[in-house]
Amino acid sequence: MKSIASAPGKVILFGEHFVVHGLQAVLGAIDKHVTVTSSKIGDEIISIESILGNASIKNSTSIENVDKKFRPFVYIARKTLEKFENSGINIKIDSQIPSGVGLGSSSACCVAAAASVMNLFSKPSHEQILQMSINAEKTIFPNTSGADCNVCTYGGIITYDKKNGLKNLDKKFDLDMIIINSNLEHSTEHVVKRVEDFKEKNPKIFLSLCKEEEKLVQKSIESLENNDMTTLGKCMSQNQMYLEQLGVSNDKLLSIIESVETTSLGIKLTGAGDGGCLIMLVNPKLKESAINNLESNSHEYFSVKIDHGGVQIFN
């Protein structure tokens, strides 16, 4: 028996870095997916196949002794097997989402794997999938908020802040976006530390930026609800300026922005910054000219829209 499930990736539309310091962030699921196919095997082994490598791990192996990139899958398989039966599981991961560029590949992997593996034994609810995926992600990111896994599970657009937690925005927003990959590697840990250092050295400036970001996020939510893409795009570009002041952008990202901003409604980095990806909001009627501009500048890109389906189980 095989069980197949998929989950969407995500972008942070507003609030990255500021969310770490208590402000609200806006996240959206995107229609690029991770698909996981799992099946039972006779031996007491958790077998994993992925573009990042393959592994065959005994069920009894301590999670701390498992390579970090495989830990979530071992956790999911082990917890499921403990509940249902003593056997093994093969997990095959196929992804449309580049890893390590701020598009939620790890969260999408956790959600899709949780759905696929649990479905081998019993039809899981979305809440069960979400809880399993968050716990799995904690094996590599102990302080995860759960926001990424939530948006990958339920789809659509959500808001998140530390005080109020998660809120799903019910309306089915239709955003036409292009993601541009800078192909610059970055360390989320180092970039987060850089923002903390900026806050410590420039407390008044940081507080002022937080106040402006808070107003901007509220304006962006109103723009979404009013289907005002022009204002939403301006909010994105303004958010990019705040992120630049925090020191999480760089010359490569700025050069990409400058080369495409005439064909976009708004553009900003998404995720940690200092590399990774940019998201560009476009007018559907002018999308072809935006793509021509990207290609003339030899940028690596792909088009996305908001995914409203969330996690899907196919059999």
**Domains of the chain by residue range:** 2-170, 176-305
Q: Could you give phi then psi for residue 167, rounded to 5 degrees?
A: -140, 125
Say whether pLDDT at 228 is over 90. yes
Query: pLDDT band at residue 175, thresholds of 50, 70 and 90?
Result: very high
**Beta strand 165-169 pairing with 312-313:** unpaired
- What is the pLDDT averaged over residues 91-119? 93
Q: Which fold would CATH assign to domain 2-170?
A: Ribosomal Protein S5; domain 2 (3.30.230)
Query: pLDDT band at residue 192, thresholds of 50, 70 and 90?
Result: confident
Cα–Cα distance, 202 to 196 (Å, whole number)? 10
Q: So what's the pLDDT on residue 172?
A: 80
Mean per-residue pLDDT over the chain, rounded = 92
Cα–Cα distance, 152 to 10 (Å, whole number)? 7
Say whether pLDDT at 171 is over 80. no
Crossing angle of helices 126-137 and 105-119, in 10° steps, is 130
Starting at the earlier edge strand, list the strands of the sheet with 266-270: 266-270, 277-281, 176-181, 300-305
Task: Residue 53: count other Cβ atoms within 10 Å of its Cβ.
Answer: 10
Q: Which fold would CATH assign to domain 176-305?
A: Alpha-Beta Plaits (3.30.70)
Q: So what's the pLDDT on residue 100?
A: 79
Read off the amino acid at residue 42: G
Read off the amino acid at residue 121: F
Say whether pLDDT at 170 is over 90. no
Q: So what's the pLDDT on residue 1?
A: 80
Helix ranges (H only) for the chain are: 71-84, 105-119, 126-137, 147-154, 188-201, 203-225, 229-246, 251-260, 287-296
Cβ neighbours for 292, distance < 8 A, ≥ 6 positions apart:
none
Say whether pLDDT at 117 is over 80. yes
Q: Could you give phi then psi for residue 7, rounded to 5 degrees?
A: -140, 145
